[in-house]
Amino acid sequence: MKKLLVICLSTVLLFTSAFVGSIIFEDHFNENENGWDLGEKESANITIKNGKLLFECKKYLTNKGGYWVKTPDLNLPESGFTAKCTTKWIKNRLTDENYSPYGFIIGSYYFLVYADGERRLLFYNSDAKQYETIVDWGKNSAIKTKDSGENQFEISYREGKVSLYCNGEMLFKKPMNFSKDGEHLKLYTENSEVIEFDDLVVTKD
Protein backbone atom coordinates (compact mmCIF):
# COMPACT_ATOMS: atom_id res chain seq x y z
CA MET A 1 0.00 0.00 0.00
CA LYS A 2 2.83 2.39 0.87
CA LYS A 3 4.63 1.57 -2.41
CA LEU A 4 1.47 2.27 -4.38
CA LEU A 5 0.99 5.62 -2.62
CA VAL A 6 4.58 6.70 -3.45
CA ILE A 7 4.14 5.74 -7.10
CA CYS A 8 0.87 7.67 -7.35
CA LEU A 9 2.37 10.79 -5.76
CA SER A 10 5.38 10.63 -8.09
CA THR A 11 3.09 10.40 -11.10
CA VAL A 12 1.09 13.45 -9.99
CA LEU A 13 4.28 15.51 -9.68
CA LEU A 14 5.09 14.80 -13.33
CA PHE A 15 1.85 16.41 -14.46
CA THR A 16 1.61 19.54 -12.32
CA SER A 17 3.77 21.85 -10.28
CA ALA A 18 3.83 20.86 -6.61
CA PHE A 19 4.86 24.27 -5.27
CA VAL A 20 2.36 26.54 -3.53
CA GLY A 21 3.45 30.13 -2.87
CA SER A 22 2.01 33.49 -1.91
CA ILE A 23 0.00 35.43 -4.51
CA ILE A 24 1.75 38.51 -5.91
CA PHE A 25 -0.67 39.19 -8.79
CA GLU A 26 -4.22 38.08 -9.55
CA ASP A 27 -6.70 39.14 -12.20
CA HIS A 28 -9.98 37.54 -13.28
CA PHE A 29 -10.81 40.43 -15.63
CA ASN A 30 -14.17 41.36 -14.22
CA GLU A 31 -13.10 44.93 -14.95
CA ASN A 32 -9.82 46.77 -15.39
CA GLU A 33 -8.93 46.93 -11.72
CA ASN A 34 -5.19 46.46 -12.30
CA GLY A 35 -4.81 49.10 -14.99
CA TRP A 36 -4.06 47.13 -18.17
CA ASP A 37 -3.12 49.10 -21.28
CA LEU A 38 -6.42 48.59 -23.10
CA GLY A 39 -7.90 50.07 -26.26
CA GLU A 40 -7.68 50.19 -30.02
CA LYS A 41 -4.04 50.31 -31.18
CA GLU A 42 -2.50 50.33 -34.62
CA SER A 43 -1.37 46.72 -34.20
CA ALA A 44 -3.88 45.32 -31.69
CA ASN A 45 -7.24 45.76 -30.03
CA ILE A 46 -7.27 44.84 -26.33
CA THR A 47 -10.48 44.92 -24.30
CA ILE A 48 -12.03 43.40 -21.19
CA LYS A 49 -15.35 41.82 -22.06
CA ASN A 50 -17.55 39.27 -20.29
CA GLY A 51 -14.91 38.63 -17.64
CA LYS A 52 -12.10 37.98 -20.15
CA LEU A 53 -9.22 39.94 -21.62
CA LEU A 54 -9.85 39.82 -25.37
CA PHE A 55 -6.63 40.30 -27.33
CA GLU A 56 -6.86 40.75 -31.10
CA CYS A 57 -3.61 41.13 -33.04
CA LYS A 58 -3.80 43.24 -36.22
CA LYS A 59 -0.22 42.97 -37.44
CA TYR A 60 -1.44 41.18 -40.55
CA LEU A 61 -2.86 44.48 -41.80
CA THR A 62 0.57 46.06 -42.12
CA ASN A 63 3.40 43.59 -41.77
CA LYS A 64 3.90 40.29 -40.01
CA GLY A 65 4.82 40.22 -36.35
CA GLY A 66 3.37 40.14 -32.88
CA TYR A 67 2.12 42.43 -30.13
CA TRP A 68 2.38 42.12 -26.37
CA VAL A 69 0.79 43.76 -23.35
CA LYS A 70 2.67 43.87 -20.05
CA THR A 71 1.12 42.70 -16.79
CA PRO A 72 0.83 45.96 -14.81
CA ASP A 73 2.81 46.53 -11.61
CA LEU A 74 4.31 43.04 -11.53
CA ASN A 75 8.02 42.29 -11.10
CA LEU A 76 8.85 38.59 -11.13
CA PRO A 77 11.18 37.37 -8.35
CA GLU A 78 14.43 35.63 -9.23
CA SER A 79 13.95 33.28 -6.29
CA GLY A 80 11.14 31.44 -8.04
CA PHE A 81 7.57 31.89 -9.20
CA THR A 82 4.58 30.24 -10.84
CA ALA A 83 2.27 31.95 -13.34
CA LYS A 84 -1.08 30.38 -14.25
CA CYS A 85 -3.46 31.59 -16.94
CA THR A 86 -6.44 30.28 -18.89
CA THR A 87 -6.60 30.94 -22.62
CA LYS A 88 -9.14 30.33 -25.35
CA TRP A 89 -8.51 30.59 -29.08
CA ILE A 90 -11.34 32.59 -30.68
CA LYS A 91 -10.41 32.85 -34.34
CA ASN A 92 -7.84 33.69 -36.97
CA ARG A 93 -8.78 36.90 -38.81
CA LEU A 94 -7.38 35.52 -42.06
CA THR A 95 -9.60 32.41 -41.76
CA ASP A 96 -6.91 30.11 -43.13
CA GLU A 97 -5.12 27.07 -41.68
CA ASN A 98 -1.76 28.79 -41.14
CA TYR A 99 -1.96 29.61 -37.45
CA SER A 100 0.25 32.13 -35.74
CA PRO A 101 1.44 31.76 -32.14
CA TYR A 102 0.13 33.23 -28.94
CA GLY A 103 1.24 32.85 -25.35
CA PHE A 104 3.53 34.55 -22.86
CA ILE A 105 6.83 36.42 -22.72
CA ILE A 106 9.13 36.48 -19.68
CA GLY A 107 12.25 38.57 -20.15
CA SER A 108 13.58 37.48 -23.55
CA TYR A 109 11.84 34.07 -23.52
CA TYR A 110 8.75 33.43 -25.67
CA PHE A 111 6.44 30.62 -24.52
CA LEU A 112 4.38 29.99 -27.66
CA VAL A 113 1.45 27.75 -28.56
CA TYR A 114 -0.65 27.41 -31.70
CA ALA A 115 -4.29 26.62 -32.40
CA ASP A 116 -3.27 23.38 -34.13
CA GLY A 117 -1.55 22.04 -30.99
CA GLU A 118 2.07 23.05 -31.64
CA ARG A 119 4.30 24.52 -28.92
CA ARG A 120 7.70 26.29 -28.99
CA LEU A 121 10.13 28.11 -26.72
CA LEU A 122 12.20 30.91 -28.25
CA PHE A 123 14.87 33.21 -26.84
CA TYR A 124 15.41 36.66 -28.33
CA ASN A 125 19.13 37.46 -28.52
CA SER A 126 19.20 41.25 -28.36
CA ASP A 127 22.90 41.41 -29.25
CA ALA A 128 22.50 39.37 -32.44
CA LYS A 129 18.96 40.73 -32.98
CA GLN A 130 17.56 37.30 -33.74
CA TYR A 131 15.45 34.55 -32.19
CA GLU A 132 17.08 31.35 -30.99
CA THR A 133 15.10 28.12 -30.72
CA ILE A 134 15.20 26.49 -27.28
CA VAL A 135 12.33 24.04 -27.87
CA ASP A 136 11.47 23.42 -31.51
CA TRP A 137 8.11 22.74 -33.16
CA GLY A 138 6.16 19.84 -31.70
CA LYS A 139 2.51 18.96 -31.23
CA ASN A 140 1.18 17.90 -27.85
CA SER A 141 -2.20 16.28 -27.28
CA ALA A 142 -2.65 18.18 -24.01
CA ILE A 143 -3.19 21.42 -25.96
CA LYS A 144 -6.82 21.88 -26.97
CA THR A 145 -6.88 22.89 -30.62
CA LYS A 146 -8.81 25.59 -32.46
CA ASP A 147 -12.16 26.29 -30.76
CA SER A 148 -12.36 23.00 -28.83
CA GLY A 149 -12.15 24.67 -25.42
CA GLU A 150 -9.98 26.47 -22.90
CA ASN A 151 -6.34 25.72 -22.10
CA GLN A 152 -4.94 26.16 -18.59
CA PHE A 153 -1.28 27.10 -18.83
CA GLU A 154 1.27 27.18 -16.03
CA ILE A 155 4.84 28.51 -16.17
CA SER A 156 6.96 27.46 -13.22
CA TYR A 157 10.48 28.79 -12.58
CA ARG A 158 12.86 27.69 -9.84
CA GLU A 159 16.50 26.73 -9.42
CA GLY A 160 17.49 27.90 -12.89
CA LYS A 161 14.90 25.84 -14.78
CA VAL A 162 11.53 26.71 -16.28
CA SER A 163 8.64 24.34 -16.97
CA LEU A 164 5.56 24.88 -19.12
CA TYR A 165 2.40 22.91 -18.35
CA CYS A 166 -0.84 22.76 -20.29
CA ASN A 167 -3.98 21.33 -18.70
CA GLY A 168 -1.85 19.69 -16.02
CA GLU A 169 0.66 18.03 -18.37
CA MET A 170 4.26 19.17 -18.69
CA LEU A 171 5.10 20.32 -22.23
CA PHE A 172 8.80 20.93 -21.55
CA LYS A 173 11.38 21.79 -18.89
CA LYS A 174 14.51 23.74 -19.78
CA PRO A 175 17.30 25.81 -18.19
CA MET A 176 16.44 29.49 -18.10
CA ASN A 177 18.88 32.34 -17.58
CA PHE A 178 16.81 34.46 -15.23
CA SER A 179 19.52 36.92 -14.28
CA LYS A 180 17.74 39.43 -12.07
CA ASP A 181 14.64 40.36 -10.12
CA GLY A 182 12.12 42.54 -11.89
CA GLU A 183 11.52 40.71 -15.16
CA HIS A 184 8.04 41.23 -16.56
CA LEU A 185 5.30 38.85 -17.66
CA LYS A 186 3.65 39.79 -20.96
CA LEU A 187 0.66 38.37 -22.82
CA TYR A 188 1.34 37.89 -26.53
CA THR A 189 -0.47 37.32 -29.82
CA GLU A 190 0.79 37.36 -33.39
CA ASN A 191 -0.38 38.37 -36.88
CA SER A 192 -4.13 37.65 -37.02
CA GLU A 193 -4.91 35.63 -33.90
CA VAL A 194 -7.77 36.56 -31.51
CA ILE A 195 -7.27 35.10 -28.03
CA GLU A 196 -9.07 35.30 -24.70
CA PHE A 197 -6.99 35.39 -21.49
CA ASP A 198 -8.50 34.79 -18.05
CA ASP A 199 -7.73 33.84 -14.45
CA LEU A 200 -4.14 35.09 -14.39
CA VAL A 201 -2.53 34.26 -11.04
CA VAL A 202 1.16 34.67 -10.18
CA THR A 203 2.68 33.33 -6.97
CA LYS A 204 6.21 33.56 -5.54
CA ASP A 205 8.00 30.79 -3.65
pTM, two decimals, is 0.88
Residue 7: inside a domain: no
Helices (H), 132-194: none
What average pLDDT does the structure give for the chain? Answer: 89
Domain annotation covers residue 160: yes
Query: Where residue 108 sits, what CATH number does that domain have?
Result: 2.60.120.560
Residue 191 lies in a domain: yes
pLDDT at 6 over 50: no
pLDDT tens string 125-170: 999 999 999 999 999 999 999 989 999 999 999 999 999 999 999 9
Residue 56's domain spans which residues? Answer: 16-204
Between the CA of residue 186 and those of 53, 61, 112, what are the distances in Å? 13, 22, 12
Number of domains in the chain: 1
- pLDDT exceeding 90 applies to what percent of the chain? 76
pLDDT the model gives residue 13 = 41
Q: Domain for residue 5, yes or no? A: no
Question: Does residue 9 belong to any structural domain of this protein?
Answer: no
The answer on pLDDT for 85 being more than 50 is yes
Cβ count within 10 A of residue 75: 14
